Amino acid sequence: MRTAVFPGSFDPVTAGHMDLIVRSAGMFDKLVLSVLVNPGKNPLFSLEERVDMLKELTEGLCNVSVRSFTGLLADFAEKEQADVIVRGLRTPEDFAYELPLAQANRRLNQRADTVFLATAPEYSYISSSGVKEIYRFGGSVEGMVPDLVYQRLCEKRR
Ligand code: PNS
């Protein structure tokens, strides 16, 4: 059985994330969406909100589960007995950032290999931080995030 973890802050989940989640769910027997608990950051959505939204969004994907983690990703992957860590690449700059992380994670956990998936071109400009900035300045992020996230953002604004 091949288990993959897909880590991230998911603050919030974007349309690009969803595309990667659906595609990676088709590649592995088990996919664990792993939401980072980052006490240093001030997230737009609480950990509970992010986990709940991911659960709702992946209800139809029977091999996908959602968990939160704190500390090192390599340790979490070990705990989940993961063979693979999935990360999406939108740009060459993403690769430059991700490569040393993948190498460090490999050193810390020799069981798990990082697998990079190319983001679909129509989503390559979308990032959670970009979505948050547009939202904070009052712009519309419709279509950049799943409808559920869009609704939650609208509710937050009210
Ligand atoms: O969605 P993000 O914010 O780009 O995800 C980043 C994430 C969660 C993958 C990364 O910050 C991470 O792995 N954090 C856990 C701490 C850790 O393992 N750091 C060392 C990496 S070598």
Please give the domain boundaries of the chain with CATH numbers for all domains.
3-157 (3.40.50.620)
Report the pLDDT value the prediction gives residue 158, as an integer from 0 to 100.
81
pLDDT 10s digit of each residue in the chain, 158 long? Answer: 999 999 999 999 999 999 999 999 999 999 999 999 987 788 999 999 999 999 999 999 999 999 999 999 999 999 999 999 999 999 999 999 999 999 999 999 999 999 999 999 999 999 999 999 999 999 999 999 999 999 999 999 88
Determine the 3-state secondary structure of 130 from DSSP. helix
Report the pLDDT value the prediction gives residue 62, as an integer from 0 to 100.
97
**Residue closest by Cα to atom 16 of ligand 1:** 72
Instruction: Return d(Cα 22, Cα 3) in angstroms, integer.
Output: 15
pTM attached to this predicted model = 0.96
Residues 123-147: b if buried by 16+ CB within 10 A, e if exposed: beebbbeebbeebeeeeebeebbbe
H or E segment at 52?
A: helix 47-57
What is the 118 CA–ligand 1 centroid distance (Å)?
18
Indicate which atom in ligand 1 lies nearest the CA of residue 69.
15
Instruction: Return d(Cα 82, Cα 75) in angstroms, integer.
Output: 10
Evaluate: CB of 154 within 6 angstroms of ligand 1: no
Contact 114, 106 (CB under 8 A): yes
Indicate which atom in ligand 1 lies nearest the CA of residue 100.
22
**Residue closest by Cα to atom 4 of ligand 1:** 8
- Any residues with CB less than 8 A from the CB of 27 and at least 6 apart, and which? 2, 4
Instruction: Return d(Cα 111, Cα 88) in angstroms, integer.
Output: 20
Evaluate: CB of 88 within 6 angstroms of ligand 1: no
Instruction: Return d(Cα 130, Cα 78) in angstroms, integer.
Output: 32
- Any residues with CB less than 8 A from the CB of 107 and at least 6 apart, and which? none
- Any residues with CB less than 8 A from the CB of 36 and at least 6 apart, and which? 7, 8, 9, 68, 69, 70, 73
Evaluate: CB of 105 within 6 angstroms of ligand 1: yes
**Residue closest by Cα to atom 11 of ligand 1:** 8
